[in-house]
Chains A and B, each alone.
Chain A
Amino acid sequence: MNERETLQRKISAAQFTMLDLHLYLDSHPGDCDAAAKQEEARKSLQSLVSQYEAAYGPMHSTPRDSSRWAWISDPWPWDV
């Protein structure tokens, strides 16, 4: 696994944690522990995504840290 894939995997893990806690919090809005965990995952996701975008180009169509023009560059997820 190269560096890019490692980073992608970390991003996937953080994103999954966030989504799962998000679903849980829908039905358990009073659970402060879960909310704190989600906040933690959100922060780590944010820094991982910035790191990824700085190195490999934008991951979102409105990137904060990298060039808009790199959006059109290969590879797309289905090309890899």
Chain B
Amino acid sequence: MWIYEKRLQYPVKIKITDPHLAQIIIAQYGGPNGEIGASLRYLSQRYSMPYPELKAILTDVGTEESVPRRCTGTGPASPKTFFPRRKQKFRRAAAKVRYFDGIVI
């Protein structure tokens, strides 16, 4: 379960668009060594962690690394910024569903 807050964690102002940079940022997010993977690793490691402080840290850091608090999805790499308007709707829907609504903590 995650709780959504209708705000950005950090203000984002996009001045220039750069598809290549967007690709790099999105890979940091959902790529093979991205935050989503890290988040899920922390959240599974906590089940075998014997120390209570560290169970808490793995839970909290795993939560932090996961989606809701990060700006990436709505920020510089957001589909809205980098893809033409016509494709935007579909891409946005795909990205949001996959990265945002599918995460269960």
Contacts and interface: CB of A to CB of B under 8 A. Distances in A.
Interface residues of A, number: 23
B7 A9 contact: no
Interface in A9-59: 9, 11-12, 15-16, 19, 22-23, 26-27, 29, 58-59
B33 to A, nearest CB: 22
B49 to A, nearest CB: 12
22 contacts: A8-B7, A8-B8, A9-B11, A11-B7, A12-B9, A19-B69, A23-B57, A26-B60, A27-B53, A29-B53, A59-B5, A60-B3, A60-B4, A60-B5, A61-B3, A71-B6, A77-B8, A77-B74, A78-B73, A78-B92, A79-B80, A80-B8
Interface of B: 3-11, 53, 56-57, 60-61, 64, 69, 73-74, 78, 80, 92
Interface of A: 5, 8-9, 11-12, 15-16, 19, 22-23, 26-27, 29, 58-61, 71, 76-80
